[in-house]
């Protein structure tokens, strides 16, 4: 969840995200994430988002993993609602069915980052 506060208007923008799928790539350091992001604008100090102000969008993110940082976003593409029918049609066409990548076992990357004080001290001044 991400929260943004706009001081002049007093509005709070809360962003929730639901990850639909994570697609691995040929190496263990890159992946493609497809997610739905929902924004709720609230003029009441953020106590309860208004249902009428909620917007959703589909996003595709290219992410990279670095040992010291974890997963971070390289690029993000928003799919507009009017683009979804065309995308679904393109992905379900007979030409895309011919693309069958070889199955491979993807190692699980830890979700938690471990920080070592000695390592951090070596990088600071």
The per-residue pLDDT for 45 is 46
Average pLDDT over the chain reads 74
The per-residue pLDDT for 64 is 95
C-alpha closest to that of 15 among 29, 25, 2, 26: 2
The per-residue pLDDT for 48 is 46
pTM: 0.57
Give the residues across from 33 on adjacent strands.
22, 61
Write down the H helix ranges in 1-125: 84-91, 94-97, 117-123
Give the sign of the dihedral formed by CA 53, CA 54, CA 57, CA 59.
positive
The per-residue pLDDT for 60 is 95
| CATH architecture for residues 2-104 | Roll (3.10)
At 52-97, the pLDDT tens digits run 567 888 999 999 999 999 999 999 999 998 998 998 888 887 666 6
The per-residue pLDDT for 63 is 96
**CA-to-CA distance for 125 and 115, rounded, in angstroms?**
17
């Amino acid at each position: 969840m991400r929260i943004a506060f706009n001081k002049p208007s007093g509005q709070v923008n809360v962003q929730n995200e639901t990850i639909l799928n994570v697609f691995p790539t040929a190496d263990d350091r890159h992946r493609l994430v497809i997610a739905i992001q929902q924004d709720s604008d609230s003029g009441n100090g953020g106590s309860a988002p208004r249902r009428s102000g909620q917007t959703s969008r589909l996003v595709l993110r290219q992410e990279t993993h670095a040992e010291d940082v974890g997963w971070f976003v390289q690029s993000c593409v928003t799919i507009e609602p009017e683009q979804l029918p065309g995308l679904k049609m393109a992905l379900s066409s007979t030409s895309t069915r011919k693309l069958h990548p070889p199955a491979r076992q993807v190692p699980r990357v830890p979700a938690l980052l471990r920080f070592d004080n000695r390592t951090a001290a070596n990088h600071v001044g």
